[in-house]
Structures are given as structure tokens and as C-alpha cells.
Amino acid sequence: MLGNDIPHDGVVMPYDLITTKVRDPELLVPHLFEAIDSTLLERLKPGDFIVAGRNFLCGKAHNQGLIAMKALQLRIICESMPFRSFRGAIGLAVPSLVGCVGITDFLSSGDDIEADFESGRIVKLATGESKDFPPISPEIKTIVAQGGMRGMLTRWLEDHPERRIPA
């Protein structure tokens, strides 16, 4: 579990990978969260949740950390996230449940949880205790399900081939 005010640049992802504009997931993944916990990456599995407090991914809205999270199939649950970071997460199809005020009080680091983003319900599997938060909107769910903005645009162009611009 991550705390409040976790910046993207220099904490979620090292500065050098941001300033050199690296976008290759294979190069980004090994450095995800290394400034927070150098062993965290070893413990993450596809489908895991990154739980954070207020202002997760604050600072500049760079996407390298989100690219790495997508490659690892991680999902985000947080109290709040700046709009540009949220836009980046959804645009890259990283499922994000934002607005979960009190999530860091409800959960402890290492808790096994089940989260239903459509209903907003989060359940601690060890105890069965649950808490409801604002659900993901149907519109955001659709964008993520279609693979983010690129996936939506690809699908739209498939449905509207007359709108393609010849290369």
C-alpha cells in the first residue's frame, strides 16, 4: 500500500527514463516503484492492485509508470489522482478506481482483496469485511475495456473505414 502524494516522476518511475522518453514496457517495468520499495516488483503479480492514498501520480503527467503498470496488468485503487494522470491511466487502459476516500484506513499492506470496479465494492478476503466506494462510470469502463484511447480509435476506424486517411 502506498501513501499520500506519491509523485510519478522520480518515485513511481526514475527521472532518467522519463527525460529520455523511454516508452518500451520491457525497459520500464524493472524500474517501476524502485524508489519506494526495491522488492515490490518481485511481489507483484498480474491483476494485482496498487492501493494509494490522496494525490497518487501527482506532478507532471508522464505515462512511463502507467505503461509499466499496464504491461504488468495492474489495477489502481486510490483516494484521489490528478485529472491528467487519471486521463493517462484510462487512455492507456489501466483500470483505475478513484475517489476511494478512506481506502488506506480500510486496507493494510498485503491484504488480499476482491474489488468490483462496477459496483465500487472492495472486500477483504481474510475477513469478508467490505466497503463501498464510488464505482467506475460506464463510459470509463467502456474506454478501458476497448483498450484505452488507441483501442477505441482503432475500433472506430474499423467501423468507419471511409474516415481513414491514406498513408
Q: What is the pLDDT of residues 21-39, one digit of tens each?
A: 999 999 999 999 999 998 9
- The x, y and z cell numbers of residue 40, run together, are 515490490
Q: What percent of the chain has pLDDT over 70?
A: 99
Compute CA 117 distance to the chain's CA centroid, rounded to the nearest angstrom: 13
pLDDT tens digits along 139-162: 999 999 999 999 999 999 999 988
Q: Is the pLDDT of residue 167 over 70?
A: no
Examine the pLDDT at 166 and tell me if it is beyond 80. no
Residue of 93, 106, 39 lying closest to 67 (CA atoms): 93
The per-residue pLDDT of the chain, averaged, comes to 95
> What class does CATH assign to 15-136?
alpha beta
pLDDT category of residue 118 using cuts at 50, 70 and 90 = very high
Cell of 90: 484510462
CA–CA–CA angle 134, 140, 143 (5° rounding)? 160
Q: Where are the alpha helices (DSSP H) in the chain?
A: 15-19, 25-28, 40-43, 64-71, 83-91, 103-106, 138-145, 148-159
Packing angle between helix 83-91 and helix 138-145, nearest 10 degrees?
A: 50
Q: Is 34 exposed, middle or buried (0-12, 13-18, 19+ CB in 10 A)?
A: middle
